[in-house]
Amino acid sequence: MRDLYFAGSIWCNVDIALRSVETVYRKEIDLLGVSIIEWYMLRALYEQDGMMAGQLARAVGRQITSFTPILDKLEQKGLAKRQQHPTDRRSVKIHLTARGKALEAQVIASAERIEELLRKRIADEEWHGYKNVVENFQVLTPSEIATVV
């Protein structure tokens, strides 16, 4: 096993790992003509079409304040469309277009290929440990974060 960089710095090593894994994702996803974040948005909409914009932003790990340009691109590509919420004029729901729905099989197949490739590198017991670490980092609360600063 290799030593981690900077005495095991979590951020640095997660960032390096993410960039490496991103290369695998890009190779697969670029063939679909979408960015990685658009790919994630499509996957989220395949699970629940018609999500509220804020709900979709959270589902793909983005702040709603920076989400509009990403959503604009997905809409410009004709893969999704905004629709006014029927009872709340301030809210917008995001729906797949026919073109977005037509990509579903390819998007799901690409996800399966990527996961299979990456899973081959990690033993089952290590995979469970990895999932536990990631899940714990994903739910850091503001109060936990405040204690660090």
Alpha carbons within 13 A on the beta-carbon side of 121? 7
Asked whether residue 89 carries a pLDDT value surpassing 80, the answer given is no
What's the pLDDT score for residue 79? Answer: 98
- What pairing do the DSSP bridges indicate for beta strands 80-84 and 92-96? antiparallel
Q: What is the pLDDT of residues 22-39, one digit of tens each?
A: 999 999 999 999 999 999
Q: What is the pLDDT of residues 96-147, one digit of tens each?
A: 999 999 999 999 999 999 999 999 999 988 988 988 988 988 888 878 777 8
Domains of the chain: 6-123 (1.10.10.10)
- What pairing do the DSSP bridges indicate for beta strands 92-96 and 51-52? antiparallel
CA distances from 59 to 89, 122, 130 (A): 22, 26, 20
| Confidence band of 149 (pLDDT split at 50, 70, 90) | low
The vertex-50 CA angle with 112 and 84, nearest 5°, equals 150
Q: Which residue has better confidence, 81 or 86?
A: 81
Query: Residue 80 corresponds to which tokens in the numbers above?
Result: 């999704």
pTM of the predicted protein model? 0.85
What's the pLDDT score for residue 57? Answer: 94
Q: How far apart are CA 3 and CA 38, in angstroms?
A: 34
